[in-house]
Structure 1
Amino acid sequence: MVRRRPAYGAGAPHAVVLLGCFTIAGWAVFLVSGEATVWRMALWFVGAAIAHDLVLFPVYAAVDRRLRRATRTDLGNEEGRPGRAAVAADRVAVLNHIRVPALGAALLFLVFLPGILNLGDATYAAATGEQRVSYAIRWLWVSGALFLLSGLVLAVRLARRR
């Protein structure tokens, strides 16, 4: 295994976990292979992969690049200023405390997209017999709470360090 590590790039535990993931994925494909909607599921899967790789990834990579630029600080070590490592750690902490709630808000938006944008109201009413309540305000409240909680955690961490 030592000789194979440079070619593979990781150790044996990684290979075992990866093999397990492929086994579970293959089992899931086997279970749905007899379904009538398997082609529709495959189309959605391929479409999601393409949309992520060609649209979403460049968008959030650009946003992350701008966040990195916006949080960049002077790393000097003059009197009264923290050292290079402390400032760099603070910058990474700030960045991560923006990334995590943004990821949570984005995932919630994708999962509840029809409810947030009020799409499919007729289908929902036909299926349940009830009118759908818009999720937009709820999503905004949850997203705001995620950012507020992250900001509070950051403030506590920075205060404890100083």
Structure 2
Amino acid sequence: MSAPTAFRRRYGASPLHLLLVLASFALAVYAGLRLFQGDTVGVAVWFVGAALLHDLVLLPLYSLTDRAVQGLFPQGPSDGRLAPRVSVNYVRVPAFVSGVLLLVWWPLVFRQVAHYTAATALPADGFLARWLLITAALFAASAVVLVVRAWRWSRAQRQARNATK
């Protein structure tokens, strides 16, 4: 057995994968060390606060929201005669992307950055409207995909009924 094959059997992936994982860990350690050179206590408080906010507030909130959406779209078995099951992912995906955009741009969306105009010479207004338009477009695109898939399913069902007659 060759050395790369033995390595792959033991590690589960190629040596290149291990090299990339180690490089990403090295980069994360470097970034962490650079981050902690400034305000170590402030950074630690921010990390702990972010973890607590996520675990105690956000996780229960989006879990309850996900359960509510699942209740709106029951996932019963589709036997071919009933309409296709509607996946909750048609709501999850646009909501997730919209949430990530809001997480990244929230200071501008909620006008919490007074120095933005001074630093960029661009107006700070309009970000809320743009985020809302992007969110609406994401949900609209998801709805279009759902409608197209339902239409294709119903067309296939009609063709199957006509073929059996």
TM-score relative to the length of structure 1: 0.69
Deviation at 1:56, TM superposition (A): 0.6
> 2:52 matched to which residue of 1?
50
**What is the 5 A alignment of 1:3-22?**
12-13=11-12, 20=22, 22=25
Deviation at 1:133, TM superposition (A): 1.9
Within the alignment, does 1:137 sit opposite 2:129 as a pair?
Answer: yes
> 2:31 matched to which residue of 1?
28
Structure 1 residue aligned with 2:110, among 109, 114, 117?
Answer: 117
The structure-2 alpha-carbon separation of the partners of 1:158 and 1:130, relative to structure 1 and needing over 3 Å to count, comes to closer
| Number of equivalences | 141
What is the alpha-carbon distance in structure 1 between the residues aligned to residue 127 and residue 78 of structure 2?
Answer: 47
Alignment RMSD: 3.1
What is the alpha-carbon distance in structure 2 between the residues aligned to residue 25 and residue 36 of structure 1?
Answer: 16
What is the alpha-carbon distance in structure 1 between the residues aligned to residue 29 and residue 116 of structure 2?
Answer: 33
Deviation at 1:72, TM superposition (A): 1.1
Deviation at 1:28, TM superposition (A): 2.6
**What is the 5 A alignment of 1:99-110?**
99-110=92-103
Contact 1:101 1:143 in 2 (8 A): yes
What is the alpha-carbon distance in structure 2 between the residues aligned to residue 76 and residue 110 of structure 1?
Answer: 37
The structure-2 alpha-carbon separation of the partners of 1:130 and 1:23, relative to structure 1 and needing over 3 Å to count, comes to closer
> 1:126 matched to which residue of 2?
118
The structure-2 alpha-carbon separation of the partners of 1:155 and 1:43, relative to structure 1 and needing over 3 Å to count, comes to same
What is the alpha-carbon distance in structure 2 between the residues aligned to residue 103 and residue 116 of structure 1?
Answer: 17
TM-score relative to the length of structure 2: 0.68
Gaps of 5+ in 2: 1-9, 157-165
> 1:6 matched to which residue of 2?
none
The one-letter code sitting in structure 2 at the alignment partner of 1:51 is L
The structure-2 alpha-carbon separation of the partners of 1:28 and 1:71, relative to structure 1 and needing over 3 Å to count, comes to same
What is the alpha-carbon distance in structure 2 between the residues aligned to residue 56 and residue 130 of structure 1?
Answer: 32
> 1:41 matched to which residue of 2?
43
The structure-2 alpha-carbon separation of the partners of 1:145 and 1:30, relative to structure 1 and needing over 3 Å to count, comes to same
What is the alpha-carbon distance in structure 1 between the residues aligned to residue 52 and residue 73 of structure 2?
Answer: 31
Instruction: Specify the SS of the correspondent of 2:124.
Output: coil
Structure 2 residue aligned with 1:147, among 136, 139, 151?
Answer: 139
The structure-2 alpha-carbon separation of the partners of 1:153 and 1:22, relative to structure 1 and needing over 3 Å to count, comes to same
Larger-Rg structure: 2
Contact 1:124 1:132 in 2 (8 A): yes
**What is the 5 A alignment of 1:41-80?**
41-72=43-74, 75=77
